[in-house]
Amino acid sequence: AATFAALCVVAVAFVPAAEAGLATLLAASAVLGFLLFALQPLYQATIAEYSPPDDRGLSYGYTYLASFGIGATGAAIAGFLLSAVGTDGTFLALAVFPAIGAVLALSLARSWVGGTGV
């Protein structure tokens, strides 16, 4: 959940960072890259922990379908948002997706810790 929350912060701060100059933009881009690559092991560990052993391969397949198949539409969505609401609005709207991920991660962690399991 912390990584998703950090992605929200970076998405909201990205436009001001870009307007502040090249060094700030590069720093924000480096943080964004680090956070995106930090998500991959979290995805793998979450699937391994919460999916039934017999369906684990299918769970990994659905995860990669969502990441690379459905996720490829992100460029089209961002392009539409850019033309509709501008740069600031686009990054604010894109911050909603990791916010949803943070909420889902917290609810999953709480259900697991609370003993209800999956």
12-67: per-residue pLDDT in tens?
888 888 889 999 989 989 998 898 888 888 888 888 888 899 999 998 888 888 87
- Mean pLDDT, rounded, of the chain: 85
Higher per-residue confidence, 82 vs 46: 82
Higher per-residue confidence, 69 vs 14: 14
Q: What is the predicted pLDDT for the residue at 118? A: 47
Confidence of residue 74 (pLDDT cuts 50, 70, 90): confident
Residue 118 located in a structural domain: no
Range of the domain at 53: 2-113
Higher per-residue confidence, 112 vs 53: 53
Confidence of residue 83 (pLDDT cuts 50, 70, 90): very high
pTM of the model: 0.63
Residue 28 located in a structural domain: yes
Percent of the chain with pLDDT over 70: 94
Residue 70 located in a structural domain: yes
3-class DSSP string for 65-117: HHHHHHHHHHHHHHHHHHHHHHHHHHHHHHCHHHHHHHHHHHHHHHHHHCCCC
Residue 42 located in a structural domain: yes
- Number of helices (H), then strands (E), in the chain: 5, 0
Number of structural domains in the chain: 1
